[in-house]
Structure 1
């Protein structure tokens, strides 16, 4: 495999004291979150510092630009589904604790698929809510949100794009109630009714995007409209002389794969090295969605470049909320193999393709340009990290924080630490129930090189060495019983400590045992 032009440099940062003195105690922070973007849906390498065949499909010059500016994290993870990730980011809690374990939409309505074998436990399908609503909204988790803490410490907090952390009509559906001073187009919906201004962004549908009425009827893509609004709000914050937190939360690259005509034509029918054929219509539109998202990142970088006094005091974090779609009903190629290659599975799956993400950080004066870091990070870690970056030392929260800050790793690479990651999804995602490919109700643990997956319905345990076998093809559970015992015990103890809910068997009504109760 051809080496990428960006050379490997271990995660490192040396910051002269004089540079620190130029950085405000409360820097601006931009959290740039992409929806449904797979870890390989970019021309930036996130695997072994090499360009994969999938990397070569995509054109993301501004992600390359950010990678040159800062540090790429090659071991970053989220939940396999959107709402759990977003609730973990807002709360700092693992999904097993906040219990918003599947995607949310309507008040008091579950979104799970049906099963003839298992009954699903109660979960918080009404989402997260402000702490003041603790006893008012059933099936929800009350929190002190990340933007609320930042707001209380002098930040102007801006939400732009997809929210999707509270059910419709609940207080938590409105970002303003969750600590944001400004809400641009965020609500209960987890996707846009349409990306197109000519279709009023899906006006009249259950996924209609509200708040961008000024663009109705215009030939504009929602990614572009959101970016323009975000830059306007950054400018306002600068004029107010207030530090800002911008949560730039794109609807892209979620379905529907509407045609972004600015970019799509270059991909139509183009020969693809991985697929050994030309890209089909869906794949061409998908690649255009990715490039449109990348242009948004570039527009924000351009704004900072044109305003160096802002740039020198602005931190930028890039992340995705779950794996890319791994199913061939919406993508091209072999389902669960091609779409997130070399990882297996995709959005909704317990395998690496469902949870491994592209992640980058640029922190002026702290991160060293053009570096790569193997520190393991999961989505709930962003909460304490961003507060560390913001210089917020003392704060109290309604909830218990599970996340671990990685700010010290950015400042001092010798502080790189082991990180055990846990996933808990006692639910049924509606698009596939293929348990063989990691879908369905599951819990999982990643410790060291080993990834253990427990499927609740069948009580099947699978074990993979993801360092040697990133595609998770070689199940080691039968040949490594001691490792299975170690990891099932640690996973089960973690879930017990959080009183994690479990499915039960329809036939007997019995709750399915924890992984270590085999």
Structure 2
């Protein structure tokens, strides 16, 4: 058997065991808690649609016309993960990191768009990370993009966050009704504009509080408003960090950028600041600068040493909007199960707790942030046991010098379709996304069964997934297939939810 993972509960994903690194990490965290008198802060920087190849240390940066000195520095001074996996699109990833569950289990299998009619509230039955952290004394804030439901009961401040300051939809959903050059058949047609407004799509910056008031902080009325949205969000998070640092509670802040999701409109301060001069590249430079400012705010507030930071993207680059799009060295893009769609940057930084200069290609799924954050917050015992949890606690992998990943496998779904599994360096695919025209990875693609046998790739010799090694060059086809069957079996006892996004 190829697998070494151990199942400790029928409701938890099997994990690899490294008792020594768990022990040393627990000692390190205990010493920290004794020193600061509370649990650590947790800060996520979630960038929208940034490619694996956009940050400098991942092969991008200056080499592709958009320097990223802040992300590069944090990667050099922390842990750079080269096999971090997201979901193929944004809503699935954003729900998965907050529930520790595959989107096919929660029903949040694709982005919720204007006009969608949700048949049930998936959050009513989910235990979100901010809710569980709040129960053990954390202050919880989401600043930025949500895109996981905007009706009452599905908003961030309804599902566990103490405070939300941001936008319900993606930036493109906001710009559609304003950009007459790109959407003339909408913007220049009053009847269609009225129909669009009648869908009830949010067109504003929202400020909401748990159990309290929800207000419109700013009505989005121009493309300039969209261009400056991330500046507005950054200013809020900088001020909020100062406030939270004085509050005495540990805090969880998820800062979710609107950029670099298309359509990108350059902020006044950053227009032409990238070597490329293209709006996407200017947006990368802007996001990188804001990460630097927010990390500095943590330092200025005296809490940087007490704060676990993770930087990532919600999926691969959206090639359909090229050249308003990112960079990946891998096959495929946003919307696909190819590496280009789901393999994203992952940077873990914690001054004094994560040794500088670490790099690892061992597996990390963004769902692991759920379990890991609960471990850091002292709330692992609050993980529900009446449903299947796909996340794995990776605390010791991230914090221990030379730490190993507890994750043996990553399962890749595209909406209701099980597409692939990565196990060590092997990728086995049962379905593939076929792009019918270049740059149209979403708008002109199909999902196809692979046929006679699964396609098996060795990502160490073929990272672009161009040539299956199959049974003729791989000894593990039967073992890989057995692991996929075990994964499928978890859905028999814990069936997936249908909330009306199946089509």
The alignment's TM-score, normalised by the length of structure 1, stands at: 0.73
Partner of 1:409: 397
Q: Please state whether the residue corresponding to 2:346 is helix, strand or coil.
A: strand
Partner of 1:331: 323
User: Residues 279 and 324 of structure 2 are in contact (CA less than 8 Å); yes or no, is this contact kept in structure 1?
Assistant: no
Q: Please state whether the residue corresponding to 1:39 is helix, strand or coil.
A: coil
Q: Any stretches of 5+ residues in structure 1 without a counterpart? A: 1-11, 46-50, 110-123, 134-141, 271-278, 334-338, 428-440, 503-518
Distance verdict in 2 for CA 1:347–1:187, change over 3 Å? same
1:198-347 alignment to 2 at 5 Å?
206=201, 208-211=203-206, 213-214=217-218, 221-267=228-274, 284-308=278-302, 310-327=303-320, 329-331=321-323, 340-347=327-334
Distance verdict in 2 for CA 1:407–1:72, change over 3 Å? same
User: Residues 78 and 379 of structure 1 are in contact (CA less than 8 Å); yes or no, is this contact kept in structure 2?
Assistant: yes
Q: Please state whether the residue corresponding to 1:33 is helix, strand or coil.
A: strand
Partner of 1:85: 93
Distance verdict in 2 for CA 1:95–1:342, change over 3 Å? same
Q: Please state whether the residue corresponding to 1:227 is helix, strand or coil.
A: helix
Q: Hey, what's the Cα distance between the residues in 2 that align with 1:475 and 1:326? A: 24
Distance verdict in 2 for CA 1:238–1:345, change over 3 Å? same
1:316 is displaced (CA, Å) by 1.1
Q: Hey, what's the Cα distance between the residues in 2 that align with 1:195 and 1:407? A: 41
In the alignment, structure 1 residue 171 sits paired with structure 2 residue 158:
no
Q: Hey, what's the Cα distance between the residues in 2 that align with 1:291 and 1:448? A: 33
User: Residues 263 and 288 of structure 1 are in contact (CA less than 8 Å); yes or no, is this contact kept in structure 2?
Assistant: yes
1:414 is displaced (CA, Å) by 4.5
Q: Hey, what's the Cα distance between the residues in 1 that align with 2:324 and 2:113? A: 28
Q: Hey, what's the Cα distance between the residues in 2 that align with 1:286 and 1:478? A: 42
Q: Any stretches of 5+ residues in structure 2 without a counterpart? A: 1-23, 181-186, 188-192, 207-215, 432-446, 498-503
Aligned residues: 425
Distance verdict in 2 for CA 1:475–1:19, change over 3 Å? same
1:34 is displaced (CA, Å) by 0.8
1:89 is displaced (CA, Å) by 0.7
1:41-80 alignment to 2 at 5 Å?
41-45=54-58, 51=59, 55-80=63-88
In the alignment, structure 1 residue 420 sits paired with structure 2 residue 415:
no
1:385-400 alignment to 2 at 5 Å?
385-397=372-384, 399-400=387-388
C-alpha distance after superposition, 1:405-452 (max 9, x if no partner): 11011233355445211012245xxxxxxxxxxxxx551100111111
Cα RMSD of the aligned pairs, angstroms, is: 3.5
1:321 is displaced (CA, Å) by 0.6
Q: Please state whether the residue corresponding to 1:424 is helix, strand or coil.
A: strand
Distance verdict in 2 for CA 1:395–1:462, change over 3 Å? same
1:248 is displaced (CA, Å) by 0.5
User: Residues 205 and 219 of structure 2 are in contact (CA less than 8 Å); yes or no, is this contact kept in structure 1?
Assistant: no
User: Residues 170 and 261 of structure 2 are in contact (CA less than 8 Å); yes or no, is this contact kept in structure 1?
Assistant: no
Partner of 1:100: 108
User: Residues 159 and 180 of structure 1 are in contact (CA less than 8 Å); yes or no, is this contact kept in structure 2?
Assistant: yes
The alignment's TM-score, normalised by the length of structure 2, stands at: 0.75
